[in-house]
Chains A and B, each alone.
Chain A
Amino acid sequence: MTSTTTDIRSSEGGLRSWLERYPFLPALVIVVALLALNGVFSPNSLSFRSLTGLFSTYMALIMLAIAQTYVVSAGDIDLSAGATLSLVNVAIVILMERWGGGAGAVLLALALGVLIGLACGLVNGIVVAALRLQAIVATFATSIFFTGLALYVMPVAGTPAPALFWRTYGGRLLSVPFVFYVLVALAVLLFLLSRTRIVTELLAVGDDQQAAYQTGLPVVATRIKGYLLCGLFSALAAFCLTGDTASGDPLVGGKMTLYSIAAVVLGGSALAGGWTTVVGSLLGALTIGLVNSLVFFMGTPSEWQNFVQGLAILLVLMAGVLAGRRARA
């Protein structure tokens, strides 16, 4: 009797410890299942070409979800991530155009774009961590502010990005699609970041802010750094979006903010902070992309697409939550 109970416990403990080490496993299972479903409804959707398309379309959301993950780690949230993306998007398009669209102009504009993203992150960090305003409301306010700036930079959507930029993003390098280089670079960057002190400290702050303070961690500075990372990745998201849409749009990012938060949760992170996974967020963003394409391939009438999308995301969320709860129970 005793031996059987310990056996059960150890096997459950095995699954549990797997989940603790790789909290994105449920998200991975869901992505694989969605890929399979996509394949059933449209075998063509699993081709290399379609997958390349999937990644180049959703790379922006992937980046934005990762951006969100770093603030969520510290128990914060950023409702201005999408507006930051818009601002960087219109800024780099305008700058590239002004400077003639050559290789030098593109690189310089990108560098400035990174700085703009960081500046937006710094504003959020100061407002939320140093001035101690509620993160949800404060970043909602800054999102309006950033959107206002974006509208000032480019009042009407439609200015095209230089061909050099989007041809590179959408093209191939040594016969491998460029977007996969982006993916590999992202993987390396995430791996390096996961080893940094700042990420460990972000998670400790998100776990229990009072405990982190009593431990002697610089809580305010850490949270600001979280927002800086968020700003950086929002800028990278803007680059991917600009490569994909090949134009500037001052309102493009607004609706992506809540998708990025949904992706974080779908990936297995805890919104309360202290327990996050960037790989999960990547998979969560892919989940949203795959749900959208599945709804399309199923031949849903266009007026029902939103309804079905919402329902499908809700179902996936429930599946993930149930799987996690069972493993933890």
Chain B
Amino acid sequence: MSKLRLNGVSKAYGATLALRRGDLEIAGGEVHVLMGSNGSGKSTLCKIIAGSVRPDAGQILIDDKPVSISGPQSARAAGIGIFYQELSLASHRSVEENICLSALPVKGGLFVDRAALKARAARYIALFAEVAGEGFHAEALVGNLRADQRQLVEIMKALASEAPILIFDEPTSALDRAQVDRFFEILRGLKAQGRGIIFISHRMDEITAIGDRVTIIRDGETIETLKLSETDPGTVIRLMVGGASDMPSARSSAPAVAATQEEAAMSVRKLTGKGFRDISFEVARGEILGLGGLHGQGQSALLRAIFGASTVTSGEVTIGGERYNAKSPRDAIRRGCAYVSGDRGRDGVISGRPIIENVTPIHYLRDRLMIARPSSLRDKAMPALEAMHTKFASLFHPINSLSGGNQQKVIIARWLIDRPDVLLLDDPTKGIDLQAKSDLFALIRELAGEGLGILLYSSEDAELLGNANRILVFNGGSVTRELTGDDRTRYNLYQAAYEAA
């Protein structure tokens, strides 16, 4: 008998299929791991079970009986508790209130039963008493807690549902070793009580430590369910990646530059800041250095910090042999640093303004231009835009009239009027079409050929494998592995990304 079963569940957001066909079967007394790469549909699947996302099609059965889950409340009534990856906490409420929020104990039908609330919360707080750390107590406001402590509160909140089916969507991402160990002890206890547990994590060692079975999801589809005791991490990763995973990337596309020049364009030593720590590397002139790994492991944070958009706590950066310490993006731009973000709306496009204004702001800054003359600016802007094969009607059309890909080309063109020394690319192809992508990478390679040092972070592994000379794999804010030459395979990239930090 299965505790929970999903048959052919799907969900689309507009034209994007978040989940194509989700099948899942959870037995009582097991920890069932969900695995899949970024955006494969794991979280959507969990939210469908928890009622916060409504499926377009498919069937959900609990204890072999079909149920209809209309919202989080009805999911709770059906016996489902969930840990949300993005947390579901009220930051101005206390720890104990948050733990009990979904079902506040009431007396007289109206008033919160403080004593009962305290007693109930205390049971779950006590579970983590030794590992919760300084400043964690029942009356503390959640907003004042550290990230790992907030994650513990969300765990306690999920546990307090006392639901027979528990979902944990990346519950350990901020926890330290001792906290994870304690959490796993608790999970084993729940398993022994016969509860069905869904567990998502990106750390392979945790998965093998706690999981019984694993279901692999790829591109929104359930691929296979395996017993973890009868398989090995290699097989799991191969299933996640799909076919042709062992082919070295170098054979599928030529490396960007045959031989990089010796001179370093930029070197980074022991750089530490918010979201990353102790990062050291060198980018040679003409080299494309890839930053790989799962989403949000410190790659973007590092690029933004180098660009001066967030603070660095220690370490140093040198550009062209000169020590460099950007305090603001303005400073970084003057030193020859360029940054292109995939989040065009936030970091790139000057919305509603003509294309020419969108191409020239960096030129203003680097040339300390006070008065702009459109005719002379046009002479500078046109070659840069043409180098990118940008399609546009005139320089004076608003940038919003262009497609996403062409907008991104305009953004990149703005850096090409005055050549930078180092180009930081933060997932630059997010949401742009294939033609624009290939134009973009052709240009990036050309720029590298001209001697720029390029740092490329991409959430699409194929882009890294096809273009980077070397790949640094990030995990939990630091570089865990460097892939060069024939080691640059999809398999190695995944394995490095998923192994323990």
Contacts and interface: CB of A to CB of B under 8 A. Distances in A.
Interface of A: 20, 192, 195-198, 200-201, 203-204, 207-208, 210-218, 274-275
Q: Tell me whether chain A's interface is mostly helix, strand or loop, or mixed.
A: helix
B90 interface: yes
A275 B52 contact: no
Contacts of A211: 84, 87-90
Contacts of A196: 110-112
24 contacts: A20-B141, A192-B111, A197-B104, A197-B106, A197-B110, A200-B112, A201-B104, A203-B92, A204-B90, A204-B97, A204-B101, A207-B90, A211-B87, A211-B88, A213-B72, A214-B88, A215-B157, A216-B71, A216-B72, A216-B75, A217-B101, A218-B73, A274-B91, A274-B92
Nearest to B90: A207
Given A197-B104, A197-B110, A214 B90 contact: no
Given A200-B93, A207-B91, A216-B76, 15 more contacts: A195-B112, A196-B110, A196-B111, A197-B111, A197-B112, A203-B90, A203-B92, A203-B93, A211-B87, A212-B88, A212-B101, A214-B52, A215-B88, A216-B72, A218-B73
Given A20-B141, A216-B72, A208 B104 contact: no
Contacts of B90: 203-204, 207-208, 211-212, 274
A207 B82 CA distance: 20
Residue in A195, A210, A211 whose Cβ sees the most chain B Cβ within 10 Å: A211
A215 B101 CA distance: 7
Interface size class of B (residues with CB under 8 A): 20 to 34
B72 A214 contact: yes
Nearest to B72: A216
Interface in B183-205: none
Contacts of B71: 213, 216
Contacts of B112: 195-197, 200
Contacts of B101: 200, 204, 212, 215, 217
A216 B97 CA distance: 14
Q: Tell me whether chain B's interface is mostly helix, strand or loop, or mixed.
A: mixed
B111 A208 contact: no
Interface string B374-394: 000000000000000000000
A208 B84 CA distance: 14
Contacts of A275: 92
A274 B73 CA distance: 21
B333 interface: no
A217 B76 CA distance: 11
A217 B89 CA distance: 12
Contacts of B89: 208, 211
Nearest to B161: A216
A212 B72 CA distance: 10
A207 to B, nearest CB: 4
B102 interface: yes
A204 B88 contact: no
Residue in B75, B88, B97 whose Cβ sees the most chain A Cβ within 10 Å: B88
A197 to B, nearest CB: 5
A217 B97 CA distance: 13
A319 B327 CA distance: 31
B50 interface: yes
A162 B141 CA distance: 50
A213 B88 CA distance: 9
Q: Which 8 A-B pairs have the closest CB atoms?
A: A207-B90, A211-B88, A216-B72, A214-B88, A204-B90, A216-B102, A216-B73, A275-B92
A207 B50 CA distance: 21
A215 B72 CA distance: 7
Interface in B74-113: 75-76, 82, 84, 87-93, 97, 101-104, 106, 110-112
A273 B123 CA distance: 30
Contacts of A20: 141, 144
Contact of B93 (A195, A197, A207, A216): A207
